[in-house]
A and B are shown apart, each in its own frame.
Chain A
Amino acid sequence: MSELDLSAAEVGATLPDVEFGPISRATLALYAGASGDHNPVHIDLDFAKAAGLPDVFAHGMLSFGVLTRVVTSWAGIGRLREFAARFVSITQVHDRITCKATIIEKFEAEGEQRLRLNLIATAQDGRETLNGHAVVAVS
């Protein structure tokens, strides 16, 4: 990972996409177990219906975690300085998520060169589910 030369990265460049899904009920059960987020609204249809929802829906942090992969699989987790995302719409069961990142700024902070990236996750129908930004160190 240390050989990667991020200093050559240009503003406007896009990172390789990450695709995830379709998100099954099994995925949600596994994420609940792996993450420790046992909120029943994601795994128990009876609970979801009693709350007036048509179905269970995906954990927001599942999509968030997949979105981080776009940045960390490119830059390496050791270069990550900040990662933020806003939850724009609910990710539903069976959604396929595409995560994209674009370099939007080069700047210097805390004595190191950094890149700011714009992030977006969309479902198969073009619906935006998350957007956000990340900061990575170049060197």
Chain B
Amino acid sequence: MSSEVLVNPRGIFDRGALGVTLEAVPVLIERQRVRFFAQVLGETNLIHFDADVAHAAGHHDLVAPASFFMVVEAAANEERGRRALPSLLDVVVCDFRYLLHGDERYFYDAPIYAGEEVLFASKVVDFYDKKGGAMEFVVTESTITHPKRGVLMRSRRTLLHRLPDAKDGSR
């Protein structure tokens, strides 16, 4: 996607973050977190709740639901905070007042199991603008890797700012 405007005077994202790579931090996949997350989404498959059922279905442990990626990302951000490292949202400079999801694309290489420690790494791959600069977009890619099992999941996500009116700062 090419940019309509090279520099967006209304933009909030830090375009200087293009190409920045955030090195991996470890995240423990907590069993109760898998259960809680699955429950809120209305999951009923017991592979997310009952280790015996998960084992019987051929899994090592409770299986994280398909959208658990973002739980790992949030946990990685917390871990980065404890290490005084910036999160991806810090690096690209997000303003929660105007921030929206554009799209999310996930690739599944292997299941994420409770009880495992995985590594979460990210990079900033693109910035672009639309509607004459009224909306700005950032594209990021992240990977969840297990030290022995290899890559488990990959994401490509677009976040956007629906920017406030340049004149008075309101929406």
* Chief secondary structure at chain B's binding surface: mixed
Give the distance to chain A from B33, nearest Cβ to Cβ, in Å. Answer: 7
Interface residues of A, CB < 8 Å — how many? 43
On chain B, the residues within 8 Å of A34 by CB distance are 33, 36-37, 39-40, 71
Are B41 and A51 in contact, CB atoms less than 8 angstroms apart? no
Q: Does A15 contact B (CB under 8 A)?
A: no
B interface bracket (residues with beta carbon within 8 Å of A): 35 or more
Among residues of B, the one whose C-beta sits closest to the C-beta of A71 is B66
A35 & B66 in contact (Cβ 8 Å cutoff) = no
Given contacts A65-B67, A68-B65, A68-B67, contact A35 B74 (CB under 8 A): yes
| Interface contact B104-A84, CB-CB below 8 Å | yes
**Is there an interface contact between B97 and A30, defined as CB atoms closer than 8 Å?**
no
Interface set of B (CB-CB < 8 Å, partner A): 33, 36-37, 39-45, 47, 57, 63, 65-67, 70-71, 74-75, 77-78, 96-108, 111, 164, 170-171
A-B contact pairs, 10 of them (CB 8 A): A1-B57, A36-B70, A65-B37, A69-B41, A69-B43, A82-B107, A83-B105, A83-B106, A85-B104, A87-B102
